Amino acid sequence: MSRYCIGIDTGGTFTDAVLLDTASQEVIHHAKERTTHHDLSIGVGRALGRLLRQGISTDAISRLAVSTTLATNAVVEGHGARVALFVLGYVRHFKLPVVANIFLKGGHTITGEEDEPLDLEGIIDTLEGLQDEVDSYAVCGAMSIQNPAHELVTEKAISMIDPKPVYCSHRVSSHPGIKERSATACLHAKLKPLMSDFLNSIQRSMNELGLHCPVTIICGDGSSASLEETVERSALTMASGPAATARFGARGDQQTALVVDVGGTTTDICLIKDGSPVMSSEGCRIGRWQTHVDAVDMYTAAGGGDSHVNCDQQGQVTLHATRVQPLAMTPGLPEPTEWLHSRNDSYLALPVERTGEESANDPIVQHLLAAGPTTPSALAAATGIQGIALEKRLERLAYLQQVTLAGFTPTDALHALGQLEIGNRTASEQGAVALAAELGRSSQDFCLQVVHAASQAIENIILTYLARTAWSPEQATMLLNRRSNPFFSVNFAVNLPIIGIGAAAQYFLPEIARRLQTTVSFPEHFEVGNAIGAALIGMEQPQA
């Protein structure tokens, strides 16, 4: 009889897998593998393979439960499909971080009657200049939750001109609030290619290993969805990782606590109260996106072990929202002292082995395939693409997994300080020497400053979540932005214990807990806590 459940969590840095006994809920085996962004099935397959090599028959697996932070990472980093948003109706204009925000006549009243005729001519004229610049479309009409006619007509008009995916807001949200409904539709459109690729990788890995059990995808509210439903409504997974985080945190002895998952790309915060995850009353919010997606009460922001470290002209260390591959984890890396600098050449572009034929025509990819790892300044000289245009092009190619961007990260600082030993420590040490020399500091002092900057970023994420929970967003922003000024400083004491999750948590949270005058605990197997949380949710689903 089936007696095991497998939980998988795929993040921006690692893919974790655990094997749980369904009767005792005990962890039998666990595995941690690097997430292979150019082909996600490789990392997933390696993690699954390590579990199954422990002598477990595939017939003994009752379910595979999957959580992921890939969607939240993409949103925070500004990645995903290029989306154009059509808003129909007489509404106050707003802006979402998409390729184009187009406001046209149309929409309905609160009773479902047509407010004004749909501007079909405007839609058609706009599409002519958009179709080569976007990958998908979102459509949101005023009060389309009462009458979706204008959204449906717009969807049909777009499909007749440009056969790309179109997402109508009335299909993904039944709540009022046109900006939030628009954001929800945009994120479904933005995330579908990413989630389709990820879910296909899960299926390929299972087929190669002969694993044919039911698959559960963890949604942001702690429920589950099928593979097919998740592809069509990709934003359901936006808080997938935090939902698993909250479930793992609720497993322990703490009845009320703050659960903090420190990942490679982001830090996720959620709250458990009376032994259960707290649910959001307003829908999921990630970075600048407030949506109508049901989710645990959580906050996600850029800041983790793989955040890109850079230094400004005053010598201040900053962490960028974009994740880069740590020097310690990059094979075939040229010696960092030969190319790493604090500003323009703060990262290296490397070719990806599996480059599609279409992207191989890109001049940047062509140069990398011929010349190998290259700095931004060398790329600019070779291709003629300069400044922000080059930076955006590289970010796009990195998202498409056509290039890898490697740079110095907090993970490298921990390696250079001798606190972490999972990669090539020499590369991290050389990177620290190169950057520290430009700042006129010792490499140890520089690495300590990087670790402090990462710790401060994570602390700010924690305080932002708590402040927004206690006060309005405006009050929270004003207080946190002015906590240090020429006249006084504000320190906080957090009245909740912290539960740490994620391999990097142990390196940052103890010092943060001390500054916030609280305690932190690390439950058994905290380093694969999200995978355990996914498995626990999976085991609660009815058998197929």
**Both tokens of residue 325?**
């591959």
| Fold (topology level) of 81-191 | Rossmann fold (3.40.50)
Cα dist from 488 to 45, 483, 485, 543, whole Å: 54, 8, 6, 59
520 contact partners, CB below 8 Å, separation of at least 6: 497, 498, 499, 500, 509, 510, 512, 513
DSSP 8-state assignment for residue 30? E
- φ/ψ region of 291 (left if φ > 0, alpha if ψ in -120 to 50, else beta) reads beta
How far is Cα 447 from Cα 328, in angstroms, rounded to an integer?
14
Own/partner contacts of 356-363, CB < 8 Å, gap of 24 or more, are 356/402, 359/397, 359/400, 359/402, 362/393, 362/397, 362/402
* pTM, to two decimals: 0.85
Tens digit of pLDDT per residue, the chain (544 long)? 568 999 999 988 889 999 999 989 999 999 999 888 878 889 999 999 999 988 888 889 999 999 988 888 888 887 888 999 999 999 999 999 899 999 999 999 999 999 999 999 999 999 988 989 999 999 999 999 999 999 999 999 999 999 999 999 999 888 889 999 999 999 989 988 888 888 889 999 999 999 999 999 999 888 888 887 887 777 788 889 889 999 999 987 788 999 999 988 889 899 999 989 999 888 887 777 888 888 898 888 888 889 999 887 777 888 887 889 999 999 889 999 999 998 789 999 998 865 444 455 788 888 888 888 999 999 999 988 988 889 888 888 887 778 889 999 999 999 999 998 888 999 999 999 999 998 888 999 999 999 999 999 999 999 998 988 888 777 777 777 777 777 888 888 999 999 999 988 999 999 999 999 999 999 999 999 999 999 999 988 765 4
How is the chain split into domains, by residue range? 81-191, 255-346+408-522, 355-403
5 residue type, one letter = C
DSSP 8-state assignment for residue 332? T
**Both tokens of residue 461?**
């994420």
